[in-house]
């Protein structure tokens, strides 16, 4: 029985919940069991935003879990809040171009990605979260790229149709995100 537990954490406004929705939608459409809980404070903007996602082959019991397989931390505060979900079997991913520190955790692997810098310099700040989605897709390996593309189409299809270049931009961001993990693994 396989179950992948994901914690995705960042600042409100970074688009954490948007990509969590695309991820679980992709899992649902791919016939997986999925469960997603958004977690946020009372603020309209700012504050730490966390998405708890599970993708499994069999029916999911506990909605909240103690330790995740993949923990993505997209700000210093996200590092502080989410260290508790890390254990020796976790893979931790953090953004080196947003965070001013490295997570101090005992885990299987820590991967630093500079998605924010790449988004700003090479693509667009608006697709920062989609780069992270690519990172997540490659780090979890439970879903196919086509599953994610279908789910993106469902969430953003109308915007894509109005501006076809947005589709290309988002696909590029996704692939660059996947590449960031591959580059790290090879190094």
Nearer to another protein, 42 or 187 (CB): 42
Q: Which two tokens stand for residue 14?
A: 């970074």
d(CA 81, CA 85): 9
User: In angstroms, what is the minimal distance from the CB of 51 to another protein?
Assistant: 10
Q: Using CA atoms, how far apart are residues 90 and 81, in angstroms rounded to an integer?
A: 15
Smallest gap from Cβ 22 to another protein, in A, equals: 12
CB of 86 to another protein, least distance (A): 13
Please classify residue 42 by burial: count the beta carbons closer than 10 Å to its beta carbon, then call 0-12 exposed, 13-18 middle and 19+ buried. exposed
CB closer to another protein out of 87 and 114: 87
Q: How many C-beta atoms surround the C-beta of residue 175 within 10 A? A: 16
**Spatial separation of the C-alpha atoms in residues 4 and 112, rounded to whole Å:** 21
What H or E segment, with its residue span, contains residue 60? none
Contact present, 139 and 97 (Cβ < 8 Å): no
Q: Which is nearer to another protein, 62 or 168 (CB)?
A: 62
| Least Å from the CB of residue 94 to another protein | 23
> Which residue's entry shows tokens 């700012």?
46
Retrieve residue 31's tokens.
């016939």
Q: Which residues bind another protein (CB under 8 A)?
A: 21, 24-25, 28, 33-42, 60-67
CB of 182 to another protein, least distance (A): 29
**Closer CB to another protein, residue 1 or residue 187?**
1
Least distance from another protein to the Cβ atom of residue 156, Å: 17
Residues whose CB is less than 8 angstroms from the CB of residue 7 and which lie 6 or more positions away in sequence, other chains included: 50, 51, 52, 53, 68, 70, 71, 72, 82, 85
Nearer residue to another protein within complex by CB, 86 or 99: 86
For another protein, which is the closer residue by CB, 25 or 138? 25
């Amino acid at each position: 029985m396989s179950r992948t537990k994901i914690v995705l954490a960042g600042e409100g406004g970074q688009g954490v919940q948007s990509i969590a929705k695309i991820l679980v939608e992709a899992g649902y459409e791919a016939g997986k069991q999925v469960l997603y809980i958004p977690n946020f404070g009372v603020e309209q903007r700012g504050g730490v935003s966390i998405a708890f996602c599970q993708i499994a082959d069999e029916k999911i019991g506990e909605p909240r879990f103690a330790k995740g397989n993949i923990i993505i931390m997209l700000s210093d505060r996200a590092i502080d809040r989410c260290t508790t979900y890390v254990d020796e079997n976790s893979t931790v991913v953090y953004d080196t171009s947003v965070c001013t520190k490295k997570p101090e955790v005992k885990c299987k692997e820590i991967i630093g990605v500079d998605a924010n810098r790449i988004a700003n310099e090479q693509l667009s700040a608006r697709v920062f979260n989609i780069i992270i989605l690519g990172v997540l897709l490659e780090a979890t390996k439970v879903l196919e790229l086509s599953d994610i593309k279908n789910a993106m189409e469902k969430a953003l299809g109308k915007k894509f149709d109005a501006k076809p270049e947005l589709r290309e931009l988002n696909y590029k961001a996704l692939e660059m995100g996947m590449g960031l993990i591959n580059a790290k693994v090879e190094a």
